[in-house]
Amino acid sequence: MLKWPNVPSVFGWLALDRRGNWLIRTGDQGDIADPAAAFDRIGNTAVVEFIGRNYARDGEDRYYFQNGPQRVYVALDYTPYVFRLDESGTVFLAHTGASAGRVKRAFFDEEGSLILSAELGVGVVLDRDLAATLEHFSERDGQPLDAETLFRRVRAGERLAARLMGSEVAVSSVRAKEVPSRFGFVARPEPLPGQA
């Protein structure tokens, strides 16, 4: 097999938004955090699936898409994964199509977004699936735990022991700006010294 050529990594051209869409930069300037940045959603299903199959994390906690010999680093709008419910409404899938696996912890940020720490990694629950997900929370004894009570208790600083889709989870709050450091990932990857 031929050795791959030594090609530089790419930064600032691929992004992941809060809804699990891959975005590609279409202009010379801008960042995903800049509302005036020129990024377009990648809509080609084959390309989306290819990126999802080749999405990974490096040893520096940066996420990237392996495109042949080249790594294309991904700017994250929020978390490395965006979780949605499958068609049965009982399993979480990542934006890549992979199973999230068992959920270990759940966090609500100050905006009401739900972040899950699962076997696959950390991800925000897709906004359109939030209400359905909240219906799956229960007390440890199986008694329903309504969303209003859950929010009130977590916002008051309480850490809850609850159940979510059959798994025991610890539920607490987190500030959105602390999510990258709390879960150990780089939201805006940049080249390391000596890296092109």
Residue 61 falls within a domain, yes or no?
yes
Q: What residues does 82 pair with on adjacent strands?
A: 124
Q: Which domain holds residue 89?
A: 81-179
Sequence-separated (6 or more) residues with CB below 8 Å from residue 49: 97
**Same domain membership, residue 127 and residue 60:** no
Residue 185 falls within a domain, yes or no?
no
Domain count of the fold of the chain: 2
Instruction: Note down pLDDT in tens along the chain; length 196 residues.
Output: 456 667 889 998 999 999 999 999 886 665 655 655 688 999 999 999 999 999 999 999 999 999 999 999 999 999 999 999 999 988 999 999 999 999 999 999 999 999 999 999 999 999 999 999 999 999 888 888 888 888 889 989 999 999 998 889 999 999 999 999 999 999 999 998 876 5
**Same domain membership, residue 119 and residue 97:** yes
Residue 67 falls within a domain, yes or no?
yes
b/e map of 71-105 (b: 16 or more CB within 10 Å)?
A: bbbbbbbbbbbbbbbeeeeeebbbbbeeebeebeb
Predicted pLDDT of residue 161: 92
Predicted pLDDT of residue 2: 55
**Same domain membership, residue 86 and residue 73:** no
**Same domain membership, residue 165 and residue 100:** yes
**Same domain membership, residue 102 and residue 40:** no
Predicted pLDDT of residue 84: 97
**Same domain membership, residue 101 and residue 29:** no
Contact present, 77 and 16 (Cβ < 8 Å): yes
**Same domain membership, residue 163 and residue 98:** yes
Residue 187 falls within a domain, yes or no?
no
Question: The whole model's pTM is what?
Answer: 0.90
**Same domain membership, residue 23 and residue 105:** no
* CATH number of the domain where residue 59 is located: 3.10.540
Predicted pLDDT of residue 34: 60
Could you give the CA distance from residue 79 to residue 160 in angstroms, rounded to a whole number?
A: 23
Sign of the alpha-carbon dihedral angle for 121, 77, 32, 128 = positive
Contact present, 60 and 186 (Cβ < 8 Å): yes
